[in-house]
Chain A
Amino acid sequence: MSTGVKHFIAFAALAIILIALPKVFVSGSAHTMMSLMGIMIIFALSYNILLGQTGLLSFGHAVYYGLAGFCVAHAMNYIAREKIGVPLPFIPLIGAFAGLFFGALFGLISTRRAGTVFSMISLGIGELVASSALILRSFFGGEEGIPTNRTKFPPFFGYKFGPQIEVYYLIAFWCFVCIALMYALTRTPFGRMCNAVRDNPERAEFVGYSTQRVRFIAFVFSAIFAGVAGALATINFELMNSQSLGAGQSGLVLLMTYVGGVGHFIGPIIGGVIITFLQISLSDITKAWMLYFGLMFILVVMFSPGGVAGWLALHQPLLKGGRIFRLIPAYALALVPMAMLAAGLIMTIELAHRMLVDAQSDGSVMKLAGWTVDAAKAQPWMLAIGLLVCGALGLKLAWPKVREAFAAQSAEVAQ
């Protein structure tokens, strides 16, 4: 199969998935979640233009998402007030222009250097913008942010974008366009030179390229797409507030991209979906969800630096060779201690959270997966520690088997 055909199939499949998803998951909360996933996919992919493609670790990427979001909120209010006949689906273009503007402005300063200096400057700019957001109340709206109303626009083919499902399709459309554009970007001469600059900036200068220029252009592109994501967020929530451009949001996009995998184009898409799902569902279940995110990030960095996509790519030859199923026994064996380890970890975190945060006000008795336990007693702690120890020991025994099985099957496939 030629690459052209492969790409056509992949993008056709993507389109079908985007169109069909709301028909499969029909609840309102599912539509809300999928809308946010679409936004986060664009945001994470835009971040990976920097991190995965060009090797630039930014700690302030939310600046472009948030600033564009605010520009869009003001623009939407203005357009509605002045009755300028722009339909809602074109609004993300304003976000793209805002991203372009701020990306070029801050990019001029921050892309002069790579490496640690770049990271530090991005952090500085992030703090700078976040703190001015609290001062410039007229633009950023203080704590409340800038509210807006997406239904005050002329109908677009009859759609008013009041219902979430209509917003979902608007986001899905832009998500598709942005994925296609960002993918195309990786396959241009510029995209390849981004990779070259990531791999070896010195040598790139000796084949005629100014690494500073490459970094700058990459930075502007990533800000443009972050701007589109920010615009969609404003449309989706009908609100933009200063949290969206702060360090927390910048950390979240780094987390999503890294957990998904920076080495593959699809990584940030996976990351955006997984993290958004966890964020929404975990925050319903536990108050300590941020802690779980931190833990997950550490585990991925330590044990699977290629992220989910890297882990999947590792198995691709086995899948192609039809031997992936031979791994099931080994993985199943490892799954038991892993589950114990996870259960022990979750218990420890929840018990500790209860004792440290809620015990004064609500007492130490709590519900854990349906069971009523008293976090002040020794038994639940013993159980948690027991699970942790057994899980760790079990995994130590089981993991070599997984490695063995993997090596054996890989060798078979290689023949």
Chain B
Amino acid sequence: MTPALSLQDVRKNFGPTEIIRGLTLDVMPRERHAIIGPNGAGKSTTFHLISGRIKPSSGSIRLNGAEITGMAPYEINRRGLSRSFQVTNIFPRLSVFENVRCGVLWSLGYRYSFWRFVDKLRDANEKAHAIVEEIGLGARRHAPAGILTYAEQRALEIGVTIAGGADVVMLDEPTAGMSKAETEQAVALIRKISEGRTLVMVEHDMSVVFGLADRISVLVYGQIIASDTPQAIRQNKAVREAYLGEEAH
């Protein structure tokens, strides 16, 4: 089976320092894949490389078997990959509903259309409406995104990400900074939205990771040191030394 996402010996240096040092990773379709690793390991950088925000220095990235290395973010998004950001990245002056609808428009083929009214697009509005409800922001639908609480903005971040119906969804620390109750809600949401899709997720909260992931990759100093099932990762000696061990004490 072709992997949904496949990285081959990807490298990235900023000036003289190599941050991603020959990263190789396969994510299978419909898999929930978590990437864990210490701060500064290069997890977000890996996300940026895959989603086109920055271009790799060398190596190859494939989405459903097709080469996407070096493409612009919008091209990669149109091919069915969507990502969220570690630092909330939404449209602050647009309402919650409009934020989500912006995420919906391209995927429904409305592109740059200036000959129809956006409020009259039934499919786009229904879909946006459903997503706003799904992320639990129904009551806040008309509020400008900029005034939402942190947890609400994180939920909206996910909403905008999944709005386009991409089949590969990448979430960068979706529960960071949330309370326990908020995290539980977020996990339920992620479980629901990732059904039938490929999910790649960076996460520091181990209970979230082990609760959600089918497979886990451990990224340390720009390299994947292990990629396996949660049980195997838990028992992996190298991982325990490099990463989990630190978490334990």
Contact = CB atoms under 8 A, between A and B. Distances in A.
Contact of B114 (A3, A191, A198, A206): A191
Interface stretch (A182-190, A265-273, A325-333): A182-190
A370 interface: no
Contacts of A187: 117-119
B89 A207 contact: no
A187 B116 CA distance: 8
B90 A191 contact: no
B130 to A, nearest CB: 17
B106 A207 contact: yes
Interface string A191-216: 11101101110111111111001100
B112 A213 contact: yes
Contact of A193 (B51, B53, B73, B105): B105
A217 interface: yes
Contacts of B98: 192, 195
A189 B93 contact: no
Interface stretch (B1-9, B76-84, B147-155, B205-213): B76-84
Contacts of A195: 91, 93-94, 98
Contacts of A190: 112-114
B116 A209 contact: no
A92 B63 CA distance: 50
Given A188-B115, A198-B93, A200-B91, 17 more contacts: A188-B114, A188-B117, A189-B110, A193-B105, A195-B94, A196-B102, A202-B53, A202-B89, A204-B102, A206-B53, A207-B106, A207-B163, A208-B107, A210-B72, A210-B74, A214-B112, A217-B112
A200 B92 contact: yes
A202 B91 CA distance: 10
Contact of A203 (B105, B111, B160): B160
4 cross-chain pairs, A with B, having the tightest CB-CB distances, nearest first: A208-B106, A199-B91, A190-B114, A205-B73
Interface of B: 51, 53, 72-74, 77-78, 82-83, 85, 89-94, 98, 101-103, 105-107, 110-119, 121, 124, 160, 163-164
The contact size tier of chain A is 20 to 34
A209 B94 contact: no
Contacts of A221: 114
Interface of A: 3, 184-185, 187-193, 195-196, 198-200, 202-210, 213-214, 217, 221
28 contacts: A187-B117, A188-B113, A188-B115, A188-B117, A189-B110, A189-B116, A192-B102, A195-B98, A196-B91, A196-B102, A199-B94, A202-B53, A206-B51, A206-B53, A206-B73, A206-B77, A206-B82, A206-B83, A206-B89, A207-B102, A207-B106, A207-B163, A208-B78, A208-B105, A208-B107, A210-B74, A213-B112, A217-B114
B117 A207 contact: no
A193 B94 CA distance: 10
Contacts of A208: 74, 77-78, 105-107, 164
Q: Which of B90, B102, B103, B117 has the most CB of A within 10 A?
A: B102
B103 A207 contact: yes
A204 B119 CA distance: 19
B119 A189 contact: no
Most central of A187, A195, A207 by chain B CB within 10 Å:
A207
B135 to A, nearest CB: 15
Contacts of B114: 185, 188-191, 217, 221
A189 B89 contact: no
A207 B77 contact: yes
A200 B74 contact: no
Contacts of B92: 199-200
A57 to B, nearest CB: 17
A205 B93 CA distance: 17
Contact of A192 (B53, B77, B101, B163): B101
A213 B94 CA distance: 20
A188 B118 contact: yes
A381 to B, nearest CB: 47
A279 to B, nearest CB: 31
A221 B115 CA distance: 13
Nearest to A202: B89
Nearest to A213: B112
Given A203-B89, A203-B90, A208-B78, A192 B105 contact: yes
Contacts of A209: 74, 106, 112
Q: Which of A189, A193, A199 has the largest count of B CB atoms less than 10 A from its CB? A: A189
A372 B203 CA distance: 78
Contacts of B93: 195, 198-199
Contacts of B117: 184, 187-188
A203 B82 CA distance: 11
